[in-house]
Amino acid sequence: MTNYLISTVRRHISVSETSGYLYTLDFENQLLLQRTAFIEPPYREFDNNPRGGLRGCRGISLNTEQILIANASYIYRFDAQWNQLGEISHPSCNAIHDILLENSSVWLASARNDLCVHLDFAGNILEFINFRDHALAFNDLGWHPPKVLNSDTIFKGLIDFRDPRTNDDETYNRAHVNSICSLKNGDKLISLGLVLNDKFAQLLKIKKWLYQAGCWQYILSINRKIRNILKLGKGMHTDLIFSPPQGKSAVIRLAKNGILSLCLAIDNVTTPSHSLLPLPDDTVIYLNTTLGHVIHFDSASGVILSSTKVTDGFLRGAALLPDGNIIMGSNGKLIVFNLKELKISNVILLTSDPNESVYDIKELPNHFALPPLALAERTSNVLRCTG
């Protein structure tokens, strides 16, 4: 029996509602074994982002002894019986996406401020990558963001990014760092899910202002009527009549010697790409969420081996199945993708909640117990490590 842990995020919900769950799925029997309410981060009541923001159960990483699971600002450590071992957090880390357990430390993608951070289990920064400092190394992206953070501010956590009142997402989030994985030779790949130029960033500021002014839903309603008149189909998100500026997605290689280089770039992106998944042959899966494509590329050359459309939904979360197929998330569904034949072999409904989407997927070792119904009950007596 092969069980999988699947984290989810729920959007457009009130502060009083659970914003994310951890599902346990018996894949062979397509049987849902458990749905666990995850732990909510602090300051969620101040988050005005109706989609992602501080919501949800996020990245998962594990070994044979422990499992680490993140929400937007904290990473929780549990043993195989789901007894809590500790909590990890730092003021310079927020909008945590994917995480990577490595010995007695963890790498995390901090999407809020264009950082990839390496923390020990006490919440101390061991090293970090501020991608804005290295923009010239990725000159082909045409990305020239202003430098808004220095090393001292990051190491000391002088801005508490966990509190959305202290910072502006449109100012600090210009690359949406959201995934990290290790290759067999020790190099790492890091996803810059949505690399924004100044024009795109200004558009997001206008959208935020319209939303806060109560006008955005009206604009979407008018947009839908125009699309119906023109008989245009519905695709990812709103498909505005007047196309917004587009960004790029990029995969960056971090070599063992610390050198950063551009591995892969994707043009015409309006939604962040997600979920780097290394395969045994050192090729890699990457999810183009804008188009709903599964990208299979060579990690050494960056050459795309295939790009296959699998969904019109929100594509995120990927894991390798024992038979070599790929399982990935699309909104509340799981898609099983045959990489050899480049086609979908199965679709599994995980949740019928239209506001809930898959975030991450990891295989649960057989000697691990099922998680409890609510993990917050296991964390009440543990002192927070806040960097």
Concatenating the DSSP letter of every residue in 350-382 gives: ----TTEEEEEEEEEPTTSPPPPSBGGGGSTTS
Dist. CA 77–CA 99, nearest whole Å: 12
**pLDDT for position 367:** 96
Are 336 and 342 in contact by the 8 Å Cβ rule? The answer is no
76 by Cβ neighbours in 10 Å (0-12 / 13-18 / 19+) ranks as buried
What phi and psi values does residue 237 have, to the nearest 5 degrees? 60, -130
**pLDDT for position 330:** 97
Angle at which helices 216-229 and 198-212 cross, to 10°: 110
How far, in Å, are 313, 317, 378 from residue 381 at the CA level? Answer: 39, 31, 8
Dist. CA 21–CA 10, nearest whole Å: 8
Which amino acid type is present at position 100?
A: L
Q: Give the angle subtended at the CA of 19 by the CAs of 36 and 116, to the nearest 5°.
A: 95
**pLDDT for position 383:** 41
Are 272 and 193 in contact by the 8 Å Cβ rule? The answer is yes
pLDDT under 50 in the chain at which residues? 232, 235-244, 381-387
Are 40 and 19 in contact by the 8 Å Cβ rule? The answer is yes
**Tally of residues, the chain:** 387
Please name the residues in contact with 383: beta carbons below 8 A apart, sequence gap of 6 or more: 87
Tokens 């050494």 belong to residue: 300
**Hey, what domains does the chain have and what are their CATH numbers?**
3-197+245-378 (2.120.10.30)
Q: Give which of 203, 206, 204, 194 is closest to 143, Cα–Cα.
A: 194
How far, in Å, are 31, 111, 204, 330 from residue 267 at the CA level? Answer: 39, 20, 18, 21
**pLDDT for position 240:** 38
Residue 53 in tokens:
């923001």
**pTM higher than 0.85 for the full model?**
yes
